[in-house]
Structure 1
Amino acid sequence: MKTRTMKMAGMLLITAILAGATGVSAQEQKTVEESSIQPKFGVKVGLNGSNFYHDDLNDNNMKMGLNAGFFAKLPVGRGFSIQPELLYSNKGSRRSYNNLLMGEGEYRLNLHYLELPVMGVINILPNLNIQAGPYVGYLAAARVNDAKSDGSNNEVAELNSDNFNRFDFGVAAGIGVDIQHITLGARYNVGLTELGKSGSVVGESFNGVKNSNISVFVGVGF
């Protein structure tokens, strides 16, 4: 199925980056005014393309959302840094409808996470890096919105977050391009924790379902 293919492609990307990290020729990365590699602290903002993965789901339900937060890039050695981040990340999925009673639109399940990724970053070229590492996310809120074809977008329900696993653990991998103090990047992350908790109708409906997310972002370091 499409979702299984997407998951496998993402895991292959993560595996390839982790496996190849030890074989690349690490490069120093610094701005023109720096005489040596310096720690950087900055902000980043981007766009998510999120979905769930499960044997009974498909890739046609990808939902767009925002990610934004702070990062620190801490040099460890030549061409290698540890990059912890603190992010807000809007994930979830969507489901379209088109009928005489309700018209045309889609329901969007918005899962609002606070996330802490810790990435290992290797510069394979002075301005090109690959990155991989784990993340942990905390579910702050879960809401359902009704987005109509006329452009209106109204919240129709706030779900009880206690019906979900509050913490989401996963792995992420990506690539970044550094242009002086600006970083442009893309990242794929896959959750390893089931979303639903047993004991409620809502929780049971998410048993076996996990997060899948592709993000693009721009960061500014200082």
Structure 2
Amino acid sequence: MKKHLLILFSCIIYHSGVAQTNAEVNPVRQRVHYGFKVGLNYANMNFNKGYPTPATPVKASWRPGFLLGFFLEVPLPYNFSLQQEYLYTQINGTHQGLQTQYGHSYLSLPLLLKYRLLPKVVIMAGPQFELLIAAQEKANGQTTNTTHETEERSIGFTAGLGFRVSKFLSLNARFMHGFNHIGITQRTNALEYKYELLQIATDFRF
């Protein structure tokens, strides 16, 4: 009888320890976080991935832009969370062969699955949807509004890392690659490209 009680007591202690360890490793964060973010992006309009492929390869040209907006982060079990963002994003590009610069403004909607790899480090990935707000191009010193001649919707995949600086402040870096071809001046001689975008941003959460 004493032997059975000792085994039972040992099992209780063991399972209690395992449960406590699992709770520490895989906590369920109950609080929903929200906040706003600001940052910079560097974009390349890759015309070499457009259709038809240009006869002469177009040299890559990375140009800066900015982003700002809001986000909402919903906790999930086992160190996961889901983050929806609503961003105003300025994406610029250049066609070196045509000596033409482009400036596009988007409503960006990334939907990210995040995993807390370390107490202050997270990895994230997910789709990013883009809705065109305004577009223009500059060539030979003249600026032309091309909003109605530019593909209005695009989708890409984004992934990156985040670092928690404090309870309210985080830094993150992400790379986004566009899936679909984006056409410019579709009513005349169409040009197509795919976006490549590097983003560095600061999150302020509440």
Q: Give TM-score, length-normalised by structure 2.
A: 0.75
Q: Which amino acid aligns with 2:194?
A: K
* Matched residue, 2:169: 182
Structure 2 matches for 1:164-179, cutoff 5 A?
A: 164-179=150-165
Cα shift at 1:64: 0.3
How far apart, in 1, do the equivalents of 2:185 and 2:38 lie? 34
How far apart, in 2, do the equivalents of 1:46 and 1:176 lie? 13
How far apart, in 2, do the equivalents of 1:95 and 1:198 lie? 14
The reply to whether residue 211 of structure 1 matches residue 195 of structure 2 is yes
Structure 1 portions without partners, runs of 5+: 1-24, 30-35, 98-105, 147-153
Aligned residues: 173
How far apart, in 1, do the equivalents of 2:185 and 2:153 lie? 15
The reply to whether residue 68 of structure 1 matches residue 54 of structure 2 is no
Structure 2 portions without partners, runs of 5+: 1-23, 49-56
Cα shift at 1:114: 0.4
Q: Which amino acid aligns with 1:196?
A: G
* Matched residue, 2:205: 221
Q: Which amino acid aligns with 1:173?
A: A
Task: Determine if contact 1:143/1:157 at 8 Å carries over to the other structure.
Answer: yes
Task: Determine if contact 2:112/2:127 at 8 Å carries over to the other structure.
Answer: yes
User: Larger radius of gyration, structure 1 or 2?
Assistant: 2
How far apart, in 2, do the equivalents of 1:200 and 1:95 lie? 19
* Matched residue, 2:109: 116
SS of 1:58 mapped into structure 2: coil
Task: Determine if contact 1:93/1:109 at 8 Å carries over to the other structure.
Answer: yes
* Matched residue, 2:33: 40
How far apart, in 2, do the equivalents of 1:48 and 1:171 lie? 15
SS of 2:143 mapped into structure 1: strand
Deviations 1:34-80 (A, max 9, x none): xx542100000000100112433332x11100011100111011310
SS of 1:89 mapped into structure 2: strand
Q: Give TM-score, length-normalised by structure 1.
A: 0.70
* Matched residue, 2:59: 58
Deviations 1:170-216 (A, max 9, x none): 110010001211110000001111111685225x122xx11110000
The reply to whether residue 125 of structure 1 matches residue 114 of structure 2 is no
How far apart, in 2, do the equivalents of 1:96 and 1:26 lie? 51
Q: 1:64 to 1:42 in 2, by over 3 A?
A: same
How far apart, in 2, do the equivalents of 1:67 and 1:198 lie? 25
How far apart, in 1, do the equivalents of 2:101 and 2:136 lie? 8
Q: 1:77 to 1:198 in 2, by over 3 A?
A: same
Task: Determine if contact 1:81/1:120 at 8 Å carries over to the other structure.
Answer: yes
Task: Determine if contact 1:28/1:37 at 8 Å carries over to the other structure.
Answer: no
Structure 2 matches for 1:126-165, cutoff 5 A?
A: 126-145=119-138, 156-159=143-146, 161-165=147-151
Cα shift at 1:90: 1.1
Cα shift at 1:92: 2.9
How far apart, in 2, do the equivalents of 1:187 and 1:178 lie? 15
How far apart, in 1, do the equivalents of 2:58 and 2:26 lie? 42
Alpha carbon RMSD of aligned pairs, Å? 2.7
How far apart, in 1, do the equivalents of 2:31 and 2:93 lie? 39
